[in-house]
Amino acid sequence: MTVTGKAQLKTESRVSISKSLLELTTKSIEEISAIGGYPSVSNYYRAFKMATGLTPSEYRKMRREG
């Protein structure tokens, strides 16, 4: 596996975990970012948006509304 492939797999894993946390908990975005291992919330937002097309807040709202 290439370095890029490993980085992509790591990001996908982190985003998958954070999606579950966004759906199933009331933890703050900052807490979820830290749990996911992101050094800053802005890095987390950027990675999440690139992976899903939504911000974490938008994702949480969409999943909770239906």
pLDDT for position 24: 95
pLDDT for position 30: 97
In this predicted model, what pLDDT tens digit does every residue of 9-64 receive, in sequence order? 999 999 999 999 999 999 999 999 999 999 999 999 999 999 999 999 999 999 98
**Banded pLDDT at 5 (limits 50, 70, 90):** confident
Residues 6+ apart with CB under 8 A from 14: 36, 37, 38, 47
In this predicted model, what pLDDT tens digit does every residue of 41-50 receive, in sequence order? 999 999 999 9
